[in-house]
Amino acid sequence: MKLFFLQLGLLAGAIPAAAQQIPALSLTCPAPAASQALQKLHCETRDLTLPAPAAGNTLTIDARANGGITVRGWNGTTVKVRALVTGRAATAADARALVAAVRITAQNSTLRASRANESLDGWAVEYEVLVPARTDLDLKAVNGAIKAENVAGKLRLNTTNGPLVLLDVSGDVRGQTTNGSLTLRLSGPAWAGPGLEVSTVNGAVDWQLPAVYAATILARTTHGKVSAELNTKRKSVLPHNLAATLGKGGAQLKVSTVHGSISVKQPAETAPVQPDPVE
């Protein structure tokens, strides 16, 4: 029981300061010039405010089949959603009709979009979502990127054609893509929570860590190279594999790709500034 409360405390401490600020929803419609010559584009944004999932429940965002997801943590107690709905058709009227027929629902902590006739042609919905900084997430896409920032919890991230971007996350994080890169930027003194495991098949991995950090990291590629610039002597760097203990070690963080290279970096440690002697 003491260990359980200790882990909760670590997760609470792992919520970055950036999550304490109230970010703005920035998703907007593209400029009219984005319309293709043979198609007309119609676009609109829809804003929703939802209750946060109850403790122990997961917020699911289903962007299949066309659309990406960006989720950021904030210090509020509700979930704020901006959905960017687009339609492309031969005429402007048809494009507007496509968008008008899209329904966005949020039931049982699941956010998704659909059309009455279930056709997937010609329309897409992209989501930008603010969640309480400690929220369990299940993010699903097929043709779109997934980005999670400043969130701690049980995170499950899956897309097929699109990158995964993880910025200042912690907790129990598992994610995968098939055709897309992996970008990881971590902060704080150590990973707080059970660990991280993310993978891609066709994509490179760019992993940035703080100069001082505690964790056990593993990286593997099949058809690519691994490069590492780390502030530790406890490491094994081979052409296709990396294993290293940073600081005092800790949670296991794993990344992998099949067709792609992996870059893992820490900035050089800076010596503390010594005060001038008092005369």
Q: Is the dihedral of CA 52, 54, 58, 60 positive or negative?
A: negative
| Residue 276 pLDDT class (50, 70, 90 cuts) | low
Would strands 123-132 and 78-89 be described as parallel, antiparallel, or unpaired? antiparallel
Question: Which of the pair, 253 or 64, is modelled with greater confidence?
Answer: 253
According to the model, what pLDDT value does residue 37 have?
Answer: 63
Mean local confidence (pLDDT), 60-74: 93
Q: State the first-to-last Cα distance of the chain, in angstroms, to the nearest integer.
A: 54
| Residue 29 host element (H or E) | none
Residue 7 lies in a domain: no
Mean pLDDT of 188-200: 97
User: What's the CA gap between 259 and 254, in Å, rounded?
Assistant: 16
Q: What is the 3-state secondary structure (H, E, C) of 127-160?
A: EEEEEECECEEEEECCECCEEEECCEEEEEEECC
Q: Where among 142, 160, 194 does a domain terminate?
A: 142
Is pLDDT of 240 > 90?
yes
Residue 4 lies in a domain: no
Beta bridge partners of 215: 246
120 vs 185: which has the higher pLDDT: 185
Q: Which candidate, 189, 161, 193, places its Cα nearest to that of 174?
A: 193
Does 170 map to a domain?
Answer: no
Strand order of the β-sheet with 110-115 is 102-107, 110-115, 58-62, 136-140, 152-158, 170-176, 195-199, 252-259, 215-223, 241-246, 235-237
Indicate if 185 and 129 belong to the same structural domain: no
Work out how many domains the chain is built from and give that number: 2
229 domain-assigned = yes
CA atoms within 13 A on the CB side of 24: 3
Mean pLDDT of the 211-240 span: 96
CA gap 45, 81 in Å, rounded: 10
Of 9-23, 90-104, 249-263, the range with the lowest mean pLDDT is 9-23
The pLDDT value recorded for residue 187 is 95
- Quick check: 73 pLDDT over 60? yes
Query: In this structure, are residues 219 and 262 in contact, taking their beta carbons and an 8 Å threshold?
Result: yes
Q: What is the pLDDT of the chain when averaged over all its residues?
A: 88
Say which range, 65-74, 159-168, 180-189, 269-278, has the weakest mean pLDDT.
269-278
Does residue 66 have a pLDDT over 90? no
**Does residue 189 share a domain with residue 130?**
no
pLDDT at 12 over 50: no
Q: Does a structural domain hold residue 85?
A: yes
The pLDDT value given to residue 252:
98
Q: How confident is the model at residue 163 (pLDDT cuts 50, 70, 90)?
A: very high
Query: Domain of 196?
Result: 181-269
Contact of 164 with 155, CB cutoff 8 Å:
no
Dihedral of the alpha carbons of 273, 276, 278, 279, in degrees to the nearest 10: 160
The whole-model pTM stands at 0.86
188 and 109 in a common domain: no
Does 46 share its domain with 118? yes
End of a domain among 87, 111, 142? Answer: 142
| Omega of the bond leading into 65 within 30 degrees of 0 (cis) | yes
β 164-167/152-158 pair status: unpaired
Looking at the structure, tell me whether residues 185 and 91 fall in a common domain.
Answer: no
The whole-number pLDDT of residue 271 equals 56
**pLDDT reported for residue 275:** 57
Q: Encode pLDDT of 167-184 as tens digits.
A: 999 999 999 999 999 999
Is the model more confident about 254 or about 40? 254
For residue 25, the model assigns a pLDDT of: 84
Please check whether residues 36 and 134 belong to one and the same domain.
Answer: yes
Residue at a domain's end among 126, 142, 158: 142
84 lies in the same domain as 132: yes
Tens of pLDDT, residue by residue over 20-60, are: 455 678 889 887 654 556 788 999 999 999 999 998 899 99
Do residues 128 and 190 both lie within one domain?
A: no
Residue 171: C-alpha distances to residues 5, 151, 219, 251 (Å): 14, 9, 19, 10
